[in-house]
Amino acid sequence: MLRQAWKPVVGTAVLVGAPSYIYYRYYLKPASETFDLRVRTRGPDGKPVVTTRAMSLLSKDQINARLTEHATSKTTPRPGIVWKQATAHLASNNPIEDAYASAFVQRDATDPAGPGDLLFFAVMDGHGGPHTSRLLSQVLLPAVALELHQLSRTPESSASKWPSLQNIQSLLYPTAVTPLPFDSDPERVKRAIQTAFLNLDWELINAPMRILAEHADALKKGNVPDLSQHPMALASMKPAMSGSCALMALFDTAHENLYVACTGDSRAVAGVYEETEDGRGSWRVEVLSEDQTGRNPNELKRIQSEHPADETDTVIMRGRVLGGLEPSRAFGDARYKWPREMQSILNKAFLEGTNVATRSAPTLLKTPPYVTSRPEVTHRKLPFLGDPSRQKLRFVVLATDGLWDEISSEEVVALVGGYLSGLKGTVAKADLPDLVPTSSGSRTVEGKDKRHQQDKQGAWAFVDDNVSTHLIRNAFGGANDNQLRKVLSIPAPLSRNYRDDVTVTVVWWEEGRGLDAQADLSRSEQAVKSKL
C-alpha cells in the first residue's frame, strides 16, 4: 500500500517540484548551511556563560581551498640522491603566529670534509603575537650557520663568543651563498647550535635595553624617557614581549649526521624503514625531540632546580610556567626573563603613548629568568646512499604543537608511510596498521594535557598531493567531511578554543642518480630539440 502511495506523490513532485526548484534555484538565494557552536561569553554580571551560536558552514570546496592555500613543495636533485620537502600551514589565530624557514647550502669543493650538503629546516610556533616567530624565520638559520662557520675556524673558542647584533642583522639579507664547512664532531656541533640559539635570544631580549641605555643621563636623574616615538621602539619591544618555540633539523650529508634542536613544545619524528623477511617491511617510529612544558618530568625537575626552594611549588603550576606560559623554553617571553622593575621601566619608556597594551609581570615572578631558549639537541647517524643496512631512516616530520594536539607520533609516521607507498582514497583507521605496519622506537614524551581525542572508528583520507596538507587534513577530520568542515569553519578568535595554528614540514629523500639523471634528461631534451 505504501509503495502504491508513492506513485501519485512522485508524479506531483515531478509536476510541481521541478518548477519550484527552478524558481528557488535561480530567483531566490538559497540559505547557507549552518551549524551550532557552543561559545563561552560573559553575561551582564561579568560571569562566564555558555551560549549557542549559529555558524556558517564552509563548503567542501572551500575547505579544500583553505587546506591547500599555503602548501608548497620542492625537489632538489644532488649527486646520487634526490631531496624532497613539503610544507603546509593552517591558521587558527588571525594573523597566524606560526612561521617556518629552510636553507640548502652546498659545501665548497675544496672543503676537506668532502662533498656533501647542509640542509636546514625549521618551524616556529609563536604565542602572544606573531612578532617573535616572524623574526626567527628570518634570522635563526643564518645565526646557526654563522656559529657553525665560526666553529670551523676556532672550534675551541667559538662557544664562548657572542656574535654581534650587526653580524646577525647582516644575515637578514644575504647577498651570496657562503660555503660553511665545520667540524664533524657531533658534540661540538651540538654546543654550537645551542650557543647560536642562546646568543640570538640574548640579542632579542636585550635590544630594548640597548636603546634605553642611550638615555642613561635621564635614568640617572630618576626620569624614564619617553621613547614611544623612537623608530625602533615597537620593532624591538614586540619580538621581546611575544614569544616563540623553535624546532630545527640540520642534515649534514658529508658526515651523514642529523641534528634536531628543540626549544619549546613543537615535535620532530622520523620514520625508519625496516625490511622484513616477508618483504613487506615496516616503519619504526623514532621521536627526535621532547615536548618541553611543565608536564614533562625532566623539565619540571630542571626548572625547580634553578630556583630557590620556596618556589618549588610555584615555578610550575597546572603544567605551566608560573601558572601562565605552557612551553618551558622559548625565544622572547621577556615577561618571564626581565626583572619586575625592568619590565615596568621598559613598558613606560616604549609603550606608553602608543596603542599597544602593556602587560604586567606575572604575579609569582621573583627570581627570573624562568624560561630559556637553550635547545635540547639530539644527534642521529644518517646512513644512506647505498648503505647495506636493512634499517634506513627515510623521512623526518617537523610540526608545531597544533598537529600533535590532534594526532600521535605513531599515527603521523603511519600516515606518511602510507602516503609514500602510494595509498589512495579512504582507509579505515582499523585497517591502516595492516597496510602500513609500524613499530615503536624511542617513545614520545607528551608535554600537553590532551584536550582532543581522535575517533578511533573513523577513516583516514589519502587524497592530497602535498604530504604536509595530508597530515593536516587527517588531524582535523580525515575522511569525515562533516567534522572537517565544522572544525575548519570556526572563525578566529573562536577557533582557538578548538584548534591551534598548525605548520608541518616533511623532508624525505630518494636514492638514485640525482643530478646524473637530471643531466641525462637535459641531454635527451637537447637531442630532441636538435632533431626538431
Query: Which of 91-95, 165-169, 297-301, 482-486 is predicted with the least confidence, judged by mean pLDDT?
Result: 165-169
> What does the pLDDT read at residue 452?
59
> What does the pLDDT read at residue 385?
57
Does the pLDDT value for residue 193 go beyond 50?
Answer: yes
pLDDT of 52-86, one tens digit each?
999 999 999 999 999 999 999 999 998 888 999 99
Beta bridge partner(s), residue 286: 270
Look up residue 156 and give its amino acid: E
Does the pLDDT value for residue 160 go beyond 60?
Answer: no
Rounded-to-integer distance, Cα 427 and Cα 438, Å: 16
Task: Give the percent of the chain with pLDDT over 70.
Answer: 80
> What does the pLDDT read at residue 318?
95
Residue 474 and residue 415 in contact, taking contact as beta carbons nearer than 8 Å: yes
> What does the pLDDT read at residue 449?
76
pLDDT of 495-523, one tens digit each?
999 999 999 999 999 876 555 434 333 33
- Please, which pLDDT band fits residue 183 given cuts at 50, 70 and 90? low
- Please, which pLDDT band fits residue 450 given cuts at 50, 70 and 90? low
> What does the pLDDT read at residue 479?
97
User: In 214-311, which ranges are continuous DSSP H helix?
Assistant: 216-220, 233-241, 297-305
Does the pLDDT value for residue 208 go beyond 80?
Answer: yes
Does the pLDDT value for residue 128 go beyond 60?
Answer: yes
> What does the pLDDT read at residue 165?
46
Query: Which of 17-26, 205-214, 262-271 is predicted with the least confidence, judged by mean pLDDT?
Result: 17-26
pLDDT of 79-121, one tens digit each?
888 999 999 999 999 999 999 999 998 866 666 555 688 999 9
Residue 58 and residue 490 in contact, taking contact as beta carbons nearer than 8 Å: no
Determine the distance from the C-alpha atom of residue 460 to the mean position of all C-alpha atoms in its chain, rounded to a whole number: 22
Does the pLDDT value for residue 525 go beyond 90?
Answer: no
Residues 6+ apart with CB under 8 A from 214: none
> What does the pLDDT read at residue 220?
83
Rounded-to-integer distance, Cα 271 and Cα 282, Å: 10
Q: What is the mean pLDDT of the chain?
A: 85
Rounded-to-integer distance, Cα 195 and Cα 391, Å: 33
> What does the pLDDT read at residue 279?
74
How would you write 427-464 as a 3-class SS string? EECCCHHHHCCEEECCCCCCCCCCCCCCCCCCEEEECC
Query: Which of 244-248, 292-296, 348-352, 392-396 is predicted with the least confidence, judged by mean pLDDT?
Result: 392-396
- Please, which pLDDT band fits residue 15 given cuts at 50, 70 and 90? very low
Region 437-457: what's the mean pLDDT? 80
pLDDT of 371-389, one tens digit each?
999 999 999 998 765 566 6
Does the pLDDT value for residue 174 go beyond 80?
Answer: no
- Please, which pLDDT band fits residue 122 given cuts at 50, 70 and 90? very high
Rounded-to-integer distance, Cα 201 and Cα 53, Å: 42
Residues 6+ apart with CB under 8 A from 119: 83, 102, 103, 104, 105, 249, 250, 251, 253, 507
Cell numbers that stand for 202 in this block: 640574548
**Other C-beta atoms lying within 10 Å of the C-beta of residue 428:** 13
b/e burial code for range 95-129 (CB count within 10 A of at least 16 → b) = ebbbbbbbbbbebeeebeeeebbbbbbbbbbbbbb
Rounded-to-integer distance, Cα 98 and Cα 501, Å: 6
Hey, what domains does the chain have and what are their CATH numbers? 2-56 (no CATH), 60-518 (3.60.40.10)
Its pTM stands at 0.85
- Please, which pLDDT band fits residue 45 given cuts at 50, 70 and 90? confident
> What does the pLDDT read at residue 106?
82
> What does the pLDDT read at residue 209?
94
Does the pLDDT value for residue 248 go beyond 50?
Answer: yes
